[in-house]
């Protein structure tokens, strides 16, 4: 039980278009036409209302009705209820989704492990879903979510907000126009984790506080004693509930590169780790991805760097000579080409720069045509998603599951290589490591709690 058609003006039409450059007009979506489908109010529900869940719900709520909210923490739920007094309140998302028939679309902003059952239950009932990144923390669950979305015909989105930025499209246009010549190698890095991993990730058991529904927090994962060392923040460092630094930040940092270069999934992955334990992700790691005979790039590598070494220094790539004296930044990426490099500082693609500066000046002297459609709502994937639902079709530029599932897989196979402990040959079609059957225990969760056995076949 609950705890308690007008035509657009010419000005509006013009505002719906992107600025023309080089004679090519690239439209933005007609997302705010009065009297059109965008004016309809959706029935929105939220699973997870605190932290990122609070901002996700606020974005999805714009122009819509919040009809139900769910959180395992009664204090967080009460705060959300004060903001949305008409919403029905729950601590069990399964009950909420089964009972509140007005729900059309659901934001899912929980710890990584709970994304899968929440999304599967919602999609099983035909609800559209916007799921925080990464989509899940096991490869099998991610693939099942994709199958379920296609089976039920729902509109999906992953909450990697950087994919909404114009610079993602600009980067793709730069690469295709030969800004740095032939791409040779890629480097991506983050200063995460900023929570305990390796030997620092331990927990002491205890009684869950009265305000927390611990069994619901565990969701489909096996029974486990409550610990303040796990919830509310440090869960990211644990293998069972989190995805480590690569899971947390890979969907941000790898996204513009994955999109701009049409990378797809590599065949070979190898990782070196520091302090990987039986329960926790490593304190530091480097992962090398290798593509052989890529249709656009030929043989290409991408190296991921995370955490710190034994001396407390951040794992970083060697700086190319074009960046001498400039610094790499705590998080960012490099695309190294035959004629220069593109360097981006930050977790999303917001201000990439071409080096050397002479190459940048030469390349940017002539305005570049905008080939790819821009999002109408930069930084707001939830609003992209609700607009798509109202229009009845996902937009090509969204981080819908067709795009987000392979992107998530790219990060998770890096984590898989960490856990296997030796180079792997990844067969994406079969969802297995070639010649290493023991790796299967890292691809699908070893055990599920009774009553929480979701799959696309059962929907």
Average pLDDT score over residue span 399-414? 98
CA-CA distance, 68 to 191, in Å (whole number)? 37
CA-CA distance, 327 to 325, in Å (whole number)? 6
pLDDT number for residue 208: 97
Interstrand relation of 105-108 and 128-131 (parallel, antiparallel or unpaired):
parallel
Average pLDDT score over residue span 30-48? 75
User: How many helices and strands, by DSSP H and E, does the chain display?
Assistant: 14, 15
Average pLDDT score over residue span 379-391? 97
* Whether residues 183 and 229 fall in one domain: yes
Asked if 72 contacts 12 with a C-beta cutoff of 8 angstroms, the reply is no
C-beta atoms surrounding 202 within 10 Å: 14
Average pLDDT score over residue span 76-95? 98
Asked if 277 contacts 198 with a C-beta cutoff of 8 angstroms, the reply is yes
pTM: 0.92
- The share of the chain scoring above pLDDT 70, in percent, equals 92
pLDDT greater than 60 at residue 423: yes
277 found inside a domain: yes
Asked if 244 contacts 263 with a C-beta cutoff of 8 angstroms, the reply is no
Interstrand relation of 332-337 and 298-307 (parallel, antiparallel or unpaired):
unpaired
pLDDT number for residue 51: 95
Length of the chain: 459
Asked if 116 contacts 218 with a C-beta cutoff of 8 angstroms, the reply is no
Mean pLDDT of the chain: 92
CA-CA distance, 139 to 325, in Å (whole number)? 40
* Whether residues 210 and 357 fall in one domain: yes
Whether the link from the prior residue into 382 is cis, omega within 30° of 0, is no
pLDDT number for residue 36: 60
DSSP-assigned letters across all residues of 426-439 = EETTTTEETT-GGG
Each residue's pLDDT tens digit, 180-191: 999 999 999 999
Each residue's pLDDT tens digit, 328-373: 999 999 999 999 999 999 999 999 999 999 999 999 999 999 999 9
Each residue's pLDDT tens digit, 107-139: 999 999 999 999 999 999 999 999 999 999 999
CA-CA distance, 120 to 117, in Å (whole number)? 5
* Whether residues 125 and 185 fall in one domain: no
pLDDT greater than 90 at residue 149: yes
All residues at 6 or more sequence positions from 412 whose CB lies less than 8 Å from its CB, including other chains: 134, 137, 138, 139, 142, 243, 247
* Whether residues 390 and 337 fall in one domain: no
* Whether residues 314 and 439 fall in one domain: yes
133 found inside a domain: yes
Q: How confident is the model at residue 310 (pLDDT cuts 50, 70, 90)?
A: confident
**23's tokens:** 């004679």
Q: Which candidate, 399, 389, 375, 381, places its Cα nearest to that of 27?
A: 375
- What CA dihedral angle connects 125, 219, 70 and 106, to 10 degrees? -40
* Whether residues 112 and 235 fall in one domain: no
* Whether residues 157 and 283 fall in one domain: no
286 found inside a domain: yes
457 found inside a domain: no
* Whether residues 153 and 184 fall in one domain: no
* Whether residues 194 and 155 fall in one domain: no
Q: How confident is the model at residue 152 (pLDDT cuts 50, 70, 90)?
A: very high
449 found inside a domain: no
pLDDT number for residue 2: 43
* Whether residues 228 and 353 fall in one domain: yes
All residues at 6 or more sequence positions from 129 whose CB lies less than 8 Å from its CB, including other chains: 105, 106, 107, 108, 119, 122, 123, 149, 154, 156, 157
Angle at 430 between CA 429 and CA 434, to 5 degrees: 110
Look at the block and give the residue holding tokens 């196979």.
413
pLDDT number for residue 34: 39
| Structural domains counted in the chain | 2
pLDDT greater than 70 at residue 33: no
**226's tokens:** 């409550």
* Whether residues 121 and 257 fall in one domain: no
Average pLDDT score over residue span 68-94? 98
CA-CA distance, 91 to 249, in Å (whole number)? 28
Residue 302: beta bridge partners?
Answer: 186, 289
Asked if 174 contacts 407 with a C-beta cutoff of 8 angstroms, the reply is no
pLDDT number for residue 7: 30
pLDDT greater than 60 at residue 6: no
Average pLDDT score over residue span 433-437? 98
C-beta pairs of 302-305 under 8 Å, 24+ apart in sequence: 302/185, 302/186, 302/187, 302/188, 302/254, 302/257, 302/263, 302/266, 303/185, 303/186, 303/187, 303/188, 304/188, 304/189, 304/246, 304/250, 304/254, 304/414, 305/187, 305/188, 305/189, 305/190
* Domain of 330, in residue numbers: 166-373+406-443
Q: Which candidate, 336, 329, 315, places its Cα nearest to that of 271?
A: 315
Can you give the CATH number for the domain in which 425 is found? 3.30.360.10
Average pLDDT score over residue span 307-335? 94
348 found inside a domain: yes
pLDDT number for residue 10: 31
Angle between helix 139-152 and 401-420 (nearest 10): 160
pLDDT number for residue 122: 98
Q: On the CB side of 285, how many CA atoms lie within 13 Å of its CA?
A: 31
Q: How confident is the model at residue 32 (pLDDT cuts 50, 70, 90)?
A: very low
458 found inside a domain: no
pLDDT greater than 70 at residue 3: no
205 found inside a domain: yes
pLDDT greater than 70 at residue 22: no
pLDDT greater than 70 at residue 20: no
For the four alpha carbons of 349, 48, 114 and 243, in that order, the dihedral sign comes to: positive
Q: Which residue has the higher pLDDT, 44 or 14?
A: 44
Can you give the CATH number for the domain in which 116 is found? 3.40.50.720
CA-CA distance, 197 to 277, in Å (whole number)? 9
**251's tokens:** 């969907």
CA-CA distance, 152 to 165, in Å (whole number)? 29
* Whether residues 318 and 356 fall in one domain: yes
pLDDT number for residue 85: 97
pLDDT number for residue 11: 34
């Amino acid at each position: 039980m609950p705890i308690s058609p007008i035509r657009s003006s010419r000005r509006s039409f013009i505002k719906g278009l992107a600025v023309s450059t080089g004679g090519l007009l690239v439209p933005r979506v007609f997302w705010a036409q009065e009297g059109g489908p965008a004016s309809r109010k959706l029935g929105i529900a939220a699973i997870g209302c605190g932290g990122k869940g609070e901002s996700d719900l606020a974005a999805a709520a714009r122009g819509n009705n919040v009809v139900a909210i769910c959180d395992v923490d009664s204090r967080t739920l009460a705060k959300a209820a004060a903001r949305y007094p008409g919403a029905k309140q729950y601590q069990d998302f399964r009950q909420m989704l089964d009972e509140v028939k007005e729900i059309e679309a659901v934001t899912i902003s929980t710890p990584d492990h709970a994304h899968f059952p929440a999304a599967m239950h919602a999609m099983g009932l035909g609800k559209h879903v916007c799921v925080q990144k990464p989509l899940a923390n096991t490869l099998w669950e991610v693939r099942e979510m994709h199958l379920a979305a296609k089976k039920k015909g729902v509109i999906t989105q992953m909450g990697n907000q950087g994919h909404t930025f114009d610079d993602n499209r600009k980067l793709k246009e730069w690469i295709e126009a030969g800004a740095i010549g032939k791409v040779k190698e890629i480097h991506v890095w983050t200063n995460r984790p900023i929570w305990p991993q390796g030997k620092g990730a331990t927990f002491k058991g205890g009684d869950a506080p009265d305000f927390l529904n611990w069994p619901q927090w565990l969701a489909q994962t096996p029974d486990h004693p409550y610990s303040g060392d796990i919830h509310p923040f440090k869960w990211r460092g644990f293998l069972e509930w989190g995805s480590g630094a690569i899971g947390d930040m890979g969907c941000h940092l790898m996204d513009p590169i994955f999109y701009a270069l049409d990378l797809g999934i590599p065949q070979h992955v190898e990782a070196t780790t520091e302090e990987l334990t039986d329960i926790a992700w490593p304190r530091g790691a480097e992962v090398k991805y290798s593509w052989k005979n890529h249709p656009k790039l030929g043989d290409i590598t991408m190296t991921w760097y995370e955490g710190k070494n034994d001396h407390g220094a951040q794992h970083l790539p060697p700086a190319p000579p074009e960046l001498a004296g400039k610094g790499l930044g705590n998080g960012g990426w490099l695309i190294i080409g035959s004629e220069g490099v593109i360097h981006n500082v930050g977790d999303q693609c917001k201000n990439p720069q071409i080096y050397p500066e002479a190459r940048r000046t030469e390349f940017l002297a002539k305005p570049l045509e905008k080939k790819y459609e821009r999002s109408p709502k930069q930084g707001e994937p939830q609003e992209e998603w609700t607009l798509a639902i109202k229009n009845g079709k996902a937009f090509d530029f969204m981080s819908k599951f067709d795009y987000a599932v392979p992107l998530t897989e790219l990060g998770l196979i890096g984590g898989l290589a960490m856990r296997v402990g030796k180079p792997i040959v990844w067969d994406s079609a079969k969802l297995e490591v070639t010649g290493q059957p023991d790796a299967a225990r890292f691809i699908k969760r070893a055990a599920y709690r009774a009553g929480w056995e979701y799959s696309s076949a059962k929907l």
